[in-house]
């Protein structure tokens, strides 16, 4: 039994687990949606879920909570990864960072143009093919596990962030029937507070998450896709090292000093002794 549990734990920790889980859930959803349970299935996703704090109330369907809420968390994690790579990783140079940006712009513009060419009479749906399903794209890469170059995963993640920002702008300017501009100021003030925490070098995560929730609420209230809150929050959270720089330097010096004290006692072998 212990071996079975250990095998399950290894599988869960494996990179391919998230991809397998995604595709199993997708197949299960397709089967249920096309079965006798389909009506109950769709009614479940349209069921209203309400969050109420005093006079403040947000009511959305379960599907919208996932699309606007959980996807914001997803893009928060993605955004943090991108920020780290921009600061100290594979995207730290302008040349490297520009590649996924240009690719994302092309990935939005070309499908939109193709749509318009084939739908000259009614081109309003040009925004539909602009979207990138990052969850499925990453899921496919995760299925391949370590066989995929990490740089490819990073490229796809960076492309998805830019694509998401572009899609939000298109939806807000073209498809959103009503924009509540009064919430722009609220969102801007909250985001300014988040950056103040950053500039003050506050490293506790909780203040950022609480203000991030407020930012999500106000962006959602504006009338645009709230996943952008996850990206904005990610770029405002400071990236800090788990190892204190001064402690690291002092510890390294201590080890070097200790090594130098004992170096005279280390026997040095000549090539005859080594051959022997």
- How confident is the model over 190-222, as pLDDT tens digits? 999 999 999 998 888 899 999 999 999 998 888
Residue 23: pLDDT band by 50, 70, 90 thresholds? confident
Task: Please give the pLDDT value at position 262.
Answer: 64
Task: Please give the pLDDT value at position 233.
Answer: 92
pLDDT, mean of residues 137-143: 74
The CATH class, in words, for 47-242 is mainly alpha
What are the domain boundaries of the chain?
A: 1-46, 47-242
Distance between CA atoms of 27 and 43, rounded to whole angstroms?
Answer: 19
Beta-carbon contacts of 170 under 8 Å, excluding residues fewer than 6 positions away, are: 108, 127, 130
Task: Report the range of poorest mean pLDDT among 95-109, 125-139, 167-181, 198-212.
Answer: 167-181
Residue 240: pLDDT band by 50, 70, 90 thresholds? low
Prediction pTM value: 0.70
- Answer whether residue 119 shows pLDDT above 80: yes
Distance between CA atoms of 239 and 80, rounded to whole angstroms?
Answer: 8
- Answer whether residue 230 shows pLDDT above 80: yes
> 148 phi and psi, to 5 degrees?
-95, 135
The better pLDDT of the pair 23, 6 is held by 23
Q: Using alpha carbons only, what angle is made at residue 14 by residues 9 and 15, rounded to the nearest 5 degrees?
A: 150
């Amino acid at each position: 039994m212990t071996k079975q549990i250990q095998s399950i734990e290894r599988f869960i920790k494996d990179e391919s687990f998230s991809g397998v889980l995604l595709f199993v859930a997708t197949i299960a959803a397709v089967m249920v949606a096309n079965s006798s349970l389909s009506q109950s299935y769709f009614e479940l996703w349209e069921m209203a879920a309400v969050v109420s704090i005093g006079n403040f109330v947000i009511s959305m369907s379960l599907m919208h909570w996932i699309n606007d809420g959980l996807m914001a968390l997803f893009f928060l994690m993605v955004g943090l990864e991108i920020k780290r790579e921009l600061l100290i990783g594979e995207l730290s140079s302008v040349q490297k960072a520009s590649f996924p940006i240009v690719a994302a712009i092309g990935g939005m513009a070309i499908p939109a143009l193709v749509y318009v060419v084939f739908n000259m009479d009614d081109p309003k749906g040009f925004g539909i093919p602009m979207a990138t399903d990052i969850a499925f794209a990453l899921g496919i890469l995760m299925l391949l596990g370590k066989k995929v170059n990490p740089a490819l995963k990073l490229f796809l993640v960076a492309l998805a962030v830019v694509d998401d920002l572009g899609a939000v702008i298109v939806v807000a300017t073209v498809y959103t029937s009503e924009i509540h501009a009064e919430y722009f100021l609220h969102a801007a003030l909250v985001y300014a507070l988040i950056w103040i925490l950053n500039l003050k070098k506050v490293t506790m995560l909780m203040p950022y998450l609480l203000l991030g929730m407020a930012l999500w609420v106000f962006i959602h209230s504006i009338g645009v896709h709230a996943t952008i809150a996850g990206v904005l929050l990610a770029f405002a959270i400071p990236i800090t090292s788990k190892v204190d720089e001064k402690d690291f330097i002092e510890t390294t010096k201590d080890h070097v000093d200790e090594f130098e004290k004992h170096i005279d006692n280390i026997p040095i072998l000549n090539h005859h002794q080594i051959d022997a």
